[in-house]
Amino acid sequence: MLIDRESALAVAEPLVKAWNERRESRLLDLLRDDIVFRSPLLHQLYHIQEGEIRGKKDLAPYLGRILMELPHTKFSIKNIFLGMNGFVLEFVSIFEKTVIGVFDLDDQGRISGWSAYFDSLDLP
C-alpha cells in the first residue's frame, strides 16, 4: 500500500504527541501486538544484545522505562518521507540527537515495525 503524506501524518503526529506528553497507553495503542522494535539504545542503555524487542507486551516495559528515566526526551519532526507500507521520520530526540525512524504500517495504519537510526551513538 502506498502511504501518502496524510496517512503518514495520521500516525506520526499522534506518535509524537503521545511521546511528548508521556502518554504510554496512547503510544502503545499505535502499535501492533506483534511489533518489531529496533534501536541501538536497547543495546547501549539496556544491554539488550540484539538491539531488538518483538511484541508490544515485551516492548511496553522498555517504553515506560525510557519515558520515566529520560523525561527531557521530546520528539520534534524535521522531515517525513513516504513509501510503500510505511514512512520515515527524521526527528530530533533523545540527547538532542538527530534520529531517522523507519515505520512499517499494517493495513489498519498501526505500526508493525519501528527501527531507529542515530546520527551519533556517543551518549553523554
Q: What is the pLDDT of residues 69-98, one digit of tens each?
A: 887 788 899 999 999 999 999 998 877 889
- Rg (Cα) of the chain, in Å, rounded? 13
Percent of the chain with pLDDT over 90: 71
Where are the chain's structural domains? Answer: 5-118
How many helices (DSSP H) and strands (DSSP E) are in the chain?
Answer: 4, 6
Q: Which CATH architecture has domain 5-118?
A: Roll (3.10)
Residue of 94, 99, 103, 102 whose CA lies nearest to 118: 99
Q: Is the pLDDT of residue 107 over 90?
A: yes
In the structure, what pLDDT confidence band is assigned to residue 9 with cuts at 50, 70 and 90? very high
Q: Is the pLDDT of residue 46 over 90?
A: no
**If you average pLDDT over residues 52-81, what whole number do you get?**
91
pTM listed for this prediction: 0.92
For residue 98, report the phi and psi dihedrals to the nearest 5 degrees.
-80, 130
